[in-house]
Structure 1
Amino acid sequence: MKMDRKKLAILMALAVSLPVLTGCIEKVKEVSGFSMDTINNIKSERTEDAVPYVVSKENPFYAVIATPAALYYDENGQHIEPLLVKDFENPSKPVERFMELYPVAYREIRGGSPENVSIELSKIWKKSDAALLIEDSFHGYELGIAAAPIASYLNIPIFVTSNTDNVRGILKKLGVKYTFICGNLEGHGMTWRFDSIDEINDFMIDLLKDRFEEIDYVTITNPLDITNVSVLNETEYEFQNVTASIDILPAQTVNLLVGGLLGLNDGMIGINTFEVPEHYKYARFVIDLINDDSELVSELGDDLILLIYGPDDEVYVYTSTAAGIPEVDENGDIVVDRVHYETIIYNKPGKYVAQVLARRVATLNGQYTLRIKVQQIDSPLEPLMNNLSSLAPYLTAYHRGIVFASPEFAFAGNESVGVEGVVYPSTNEGLVEPNNEHVLKIHEMLNNLLAKIANISADDTEALWQYYTENPIHIAILADATMVPMYYYYNPDSDNIIGVQLPSDFIYGDIDPKPGDVENNSYTYWPQQENAVGRVTGYDAEDCSALIARTIFYNEIIDAFGDWKNNATVQT
């Protein structure tokens, strides 16, 4: 039976087109890991060496993407240039100062989607057998900051995207055959999808031992520091008032007593009241106290003190303009003395009293302005130092280390803890015990990681203690004390004003705190810190990037200062 011409034409067309169409379909094979032989055969070629980058603080992904561009390893060792974070509208002085001291041809990332920035920076590579793909989401970021050092160790680009197809053309152009995936993205070529931080760190341990033979650096950080709490409602208060000096000098003392006897504004001590509504589970106080008579602050050290008492008459806020950042003139003299202060309160609605005291040497009374915003917010987990985690890949890759990160590290008072009042243990002693229990859980997780690095069972604490006594490593905490909390050791002089207990990061370097008696150790008579611990902090990622850069490039900076530094005398 003969086939009609129409059917024959269709079959012929299919015969021709199917091989072509099949060739257009990307072959993606997901695997549970790459062998070290495969890893060692990954090659790349750059169009240029390490590039100094200044990235906008507006998106934390920028610093992550730029990490392998500014810092990478090859057969010749480490190649590194500065990676700075900058507010281009209002840059911080530390960043500007570093750029003056280390003048190189900085490239800037001022904006754009992370995907477009990734594509632009990928031009640094002429070809690359592998790439790291990170989903443009919080989940992608959470995994990405732990995985990003891989890109520096293997000298491969990072792509942040919401759809792999958007960068597939670039991947083909680079010749990418292997992809590491962080998040819900389609792979490209042979694909290893990371499902957890633990999986990333297990691979990182193998990679670092193979490449560098040892691991002596761990960075603890929290990806939650790129988030912000949401403001649901807000009420503003503004008070302008007069307060008398409480300095113990004859004129001030008489003025205070007479004012009190005459009933003049509680002895001329500024008293102001405001309220937290009943339905505010979490209330954030945003406070600005301004000394309207600041003329003598620079010369005599005058300042204002603020105390805020809650509905239970407990002190919830204690601060001073001496702790603030004043406005100064061109000579550096203070023209407006002020302090900005924020805190979060859990489940304490009602009337609050804000009391302003003055310490003035030459005057009896003075004017002040107090502004308070009472905000209803959705969570107490507010980062105190934003986006520090975005620098974890760069800092860690420089030290050939591992990023130990989790949003679960964060601690603040909430309904699950059940302690009302200020959500920070630093000013709420009722939170000390639950905070310490939380820190011990992080400590256990850290010991598990250290056990993997040492190839020792985490259950054998004595062997772990012995190993790190002989082979100490460095542990950097790149986070504020909400994102990675401190342990509070006993202090007999503890109170809400001078300080609650004794907060410390000592615990993170102590392998063997004694169960039930954490202030002592299991295997030494005196408490001993096996590993060195330091907290790397700054006002935000911008200032912190300058701190890291100054440290890494210290020798280059100091060499430019001339011979005087070799003959200088430091008096302490």
Structure 2
Amino acid sequence: MLCKKTMTLTVILLIFSTSTIAQGFLVYKPKQTFFSHDKQASWEVVIIPDNNPFYGVLGNSLACWYNKENNRTVLLPLLVQKNGLLTEQQKRFLNQYLAKNGTLLVVGEHLNTTYGTTEILGSPAEVAAEVSTKVFKQSSTVLILPYEGNSSYKLSLIAAPLASYLNIPILFYDNNEEQLQQICKKLNSTKAFVVGDIQLNLPNISIVELKDEDAVQNLVLDSIKTVFGEINYITLTNPSDIISPQIIDSYETTTMEHIENIKVTVLGREINIIGKDTRQQLVYLPEGINWVRIHGEVNVTQKGFIDPIISLYLYDPQKNVVAYSLSPGYDIGKTYVETLTCDAPGNYTLTVKLYNGVKGGYFLQRGLSMVDTDVKITINVSRLKKPHLPFVPKLSMTAPYLTAAHGGILVADQKFELTSDEYVSAAEGLGTGPWYNEKLQNFNNKKVNYTITELKHVLDLIENHGMLTGYLNGSAWLAILGDTNMIPMYYYNPSQKGLLEKGLPSDNPYSLNFNLSVGRVIGYDVQDVSLLISRTLFYKKICGPPLEENGWHSRFNFVFGEGFGETGGLFHQIPYAAELKKYGFKPHVYGDLRNSRQITSLLQVYTNANYIEYLGHGDWLWFTPSLYGFDYINKAVDVAHAKNWVYNKPSVFLTSACLMARIDGIPPYMNIGVTMLHSGCNCFIGATRSTGQEAGLTALENHLIVDDLSVGEALRGEKRVDKEPPTYYVRALYGDPAFNPYEPNNGFSNQGRPVIQHVSR
């Protein structure tokens, strides 16, 4: 018997005063205790702060564990808070998930919330020590992880699932040997797994040293085989994403540019009646590594049907684009660009454009723009010590929980990173990354190849434990938990004509010739991603049972765009919608004249459907279904508006459109696909570059609906048979690859959760 864990906990009400909190952790009066074993109550959600990554290591063991002795699995949502606050999306999740008297276990940092909480505050080492003797009555084994040192976080990440699989407490070594001795004595422990280069004296404790990664991974795999008998899940992450950019110094300038312009567009030709819509200014960038961030903003006094569109284009001294953006990809009347330059000094040119009006007509454009306003331009140039630059920091914090919840193994390595130390020499003289400069794509692809080598090494370890055949013949899920700087996509050739973006970025190589089912778990920030993971794992509870015949569960909404999207609507969507009725769906098709953002928002076409399929024109910041009328730019579905949408339940968003999954070289919060995840979808499938008639969705949808596969398996199955470029390369999945959505004919799945092997008595 390894241990006995107190699965439910009692909270003695604490009366807080100025003497209650001291030195950053909770202090309680001598006669009070956090947990009373004679009167028990439970927590239902675990909340950790983002200010120390080791809370992610510890939080996993408090939200997920397996007790093989009584065949019991416990899984609770794990959310990451920031500065004592939950996001609005996290609050909506809790309102759906929790009962009125639900309790949150808040560790590390105080949380401002109206829910009942049990708070255990302090550093990860302090909290781990406190929790171990409150949660466990006794434990014959403990897991001691390193807290200091260059490799401590990486080793702790990959070892963290052990605490869940073996149902044992996590402790951190932080020069606290005497405290660890006392805890082990109190728990009646006789064995300690000690990870990393830690020298400990623990009397009467048998110490098992796990000095390096392979030692840890072999024990993880032993545990998986013992508890589950098989493995179906691998997570890739980059532990260096917790490190902020190392800024040496920075300077910021703010200027105002006045633009006065009246412009008409007739038969596709733009004619300036008064002034011009463009201003330019020089931006001098010095030598060294520079992180350049530029904001553009116009004053929007009243939001209405027409939103001003501000665009920024930054060119290097050779007149090559190094960054660009438009306000529909950021916010109403605001936009943002950033780039990283490496020893590429000189005068860069910033071009600012402003359009305020209507523009329509697909074949022969017509429009009117009237501008008379100031544009505020703020330029920040930060000199960096290293090129390290995560787009979405701290995602690795969620890796232990994602991995343990699926009974998997975690692969973590800082060398996966594109913007590593070697990037300086590879990008010398360049003002951008491989997304706008093909010269860097070979360097980028070597990083991908290194990651694949490390992945194959872990597969060899799995084979040594006799589980590889079962993994490859099964779901073989692989989650990429990181942005494209931390775990880059691979760039295939050729670059597409007419696009500023270069190459064909793809996650295909990680599938190992589509033996693995790959999905990239991404979001606006770590708070978003922690919610996405929990929303996926607790999908059934959030969705609830199908109570209405024509309700959310059975609703499959198709939207086709104008400008030849009608072909897909006529030959795919309409007949496929009829086919879906056999499987219990209630499909609806929205096409010409009722596909604008305003109409679809009014009808809740996107936010109140289980499945959504969009077929039409798109880009990384928006998609434009409505093209034929007098105006399309104000009818587009863009980031600026969709980021405030509220999906009633976690939807599946499938697209046959260009660029809607492009996240390389831009913050993911500027991408329309990731925005759908932010607003409440569980899955987005789209293209990182332009696609054509080959971008059908029938094979993928059949795998989901007819074969009842997860989204990762469905995409794998499609790419095994449909290899026509460019869709074959550029179609990507954002979300947990193990996510299996509800269909009326299939019902709910277990979302890739492992099953404890039965123990015969």
Instruction: Check whether TM > 0.5.
Output: yes
Aligned partner of 1:124 in structure 2 is 135
> Which letter does structure 1 place at the counterpart of 2:387?
P
Q: Distance in 2 between matches of 1:440 and 1:349?
A: 31
Contact 2:444–2:490 (CA<8 Å) still a contact in 1? yes
Q: Distance in 1 between matches of 2:459 and 2:236?
A: 12
Secondary structure of the 1:394 match is: helix
Query: Higher RCO, 1 or 2 (CA under 8 Å, sep at least 6)?
Result: 1
Among 457, 472, 483, the residue aligned to 1:480? 483
Aligned partner of 1:322 in structure 2 is 328
Q: Distance in 2 between matches of 1:254 and 1:414?
A: 42
Q: Distance in 2 between matches of 1:389 and 1:320?
A: 30
Shift in alpha-carbon separation, 1:192–1:405, aligned structure 2, 3 A: same
Post-superposition Cα deviations, 1:39-93, rounded to whole Å, max 9, x if no partner, equal xx53333252784211112122112112111110013232111111012445322
- Indicate the larger mover: 141-150 or 120-129: 120-129
Contact 1:244–1:269 (CA<8 Å) still a contact in 2? no
Post-superposition Cα deviations, 1:425-481, rounded to whole Å, max 9, x if no partner, equal 222221111111221121122122213313499xxxxxx8x9876345000011111
Among 515, 521, 526, the residue aligned to 1:530? 515
Aligned partner of 2:55 in structure 1 is 62
Q: Aligned-pair distance for 1:130?
A: 1.4
Q: Aligned-pair distance for 1:414?
A: 2.3
Among 288, 313, 322, the residue aligned to 1:307? 313
Shift in alpha-carbon separation, 1:105–1:469, aligned structure 2, 3 A: closer
Contact 1:209–1:215 (CA<8 Å) still a contact in 2? yes
* Percent pairwise identity: 28
Among 265, 271, 296, the residue aligned to 1:289? 296
Q: Distance in 2 between matches of 1:540 and 1:555?
A: 24
Matches within 5 A, 1:153-192: 153-165=165-177, 166-187=179-200, 188=202, 189-192=205-208
Contact 2:289–2:341 (CA<8 Å) still a contact in 1? yes
Shift in alpha-carbon separation, 1:354–1:90, aligned structure 2, 3 A: farther
Among 86, 104, 107, the residue aligned to 2:105? 107
Higher share of residues assigned helix: 1
Post-superposition Cα deviations, 1:344-390, rounded to whole Å, max 9, x if no partner, equal 11111121211101222241443211101111011111111111111
Aligned partner of 1:331 in structure 2 is none
> Which letter does structure 2 place at the counterpart of 1:565?
W
Q: Distance in 2 between matches of 1:143 and 1:69?
A: 19
Q: Provide the TM-score with structure 2 as the length reference.
A: 0.60
Secondary structure of the 1:299 match is: coil
Contact 1:68–1:151 (CA<8 Å) still a contact in 2? yes
Contact 1:291–1:303 (CA<8 Å) still a contact in 2? no
Contact 2:344–2:428 (CA<8 Å) still a contact in 1? no
- Indicate the larger mover: 98-107 or 218-227: 98-107
Contact 1:308–1:352 (CA<8 Å) still a contact in 2? yes
Post-superposition Cα deviations, 1:150-181, rounded to whole Å, max 9, x if no partner, equal 00001111122412423331222112222222
Among 372, 383, 392, the residue aligned to 1:385? 392
Contact 1:291–1:367 (CA<8 Å) still a contact in 2? yes
Q: Aligned-pair distance for 1:420?
A: 3.0
Aligned partner of 2:160 in structure 1 is 148
Aligned partner of 1:441 in structure 2 is 450
Q: Aligned-pair distance for 1:322?
A: 1.1
Aligned partner of 1:450 in structure 2 is 459
Aligned-pair Cα RMSD in Å: 2.7
Q: Aligned-pair distance for 1:183?
A: 3.5
Q: Aligned-pair distance for 1:560?
A: 7.0
> Which letter does structure 1 place at the counterpart of 2:461?
K
Matches within 5 A, 1:10-409: 41-46=1-6, 48=8, 51=43, 52-75=45-68, 76-103=71-98, 104-109=102-107, 110=109, 111-122=121-132, 123-137=134-148, 138-165=150-177, 166-187=179-200, 188=202, 189-243=205-259, 249=265, 256=272, 259=275, 267-278=276-287, 281-293=288-300, 295=302, 298-326=304-332, 337-361=333-357, 362-409=369-416
Contact 1:246–1:253 (CA<8 Å) still a contact in 2? no
Contact 1:181–1:191 (CA<8 Å) still a contact in 2? yes
- Indicate the larger mover: 213-222 or 470-479: 470-479
* Number of corresponding residues: 487
Shift in alpha-carbon separation, 1:423–1:204, aligned structure 2, 3 A: farther
Shift in alpha-carbon separation, 1:168–1:343, aligned structure 2, 3 A: farther
Q: What stretches of structure 2 of length at least 5 have no aligned partner? A: 10-41, 110-120, 358-368, 560-761
Q: Aligned-pair distance for 1:268?
A: 4.9
Q: What stretches of structure 1 of length at least 5 have no aligned partner? A: 1-40, 260-266, 327-336, 458-463, 512-528
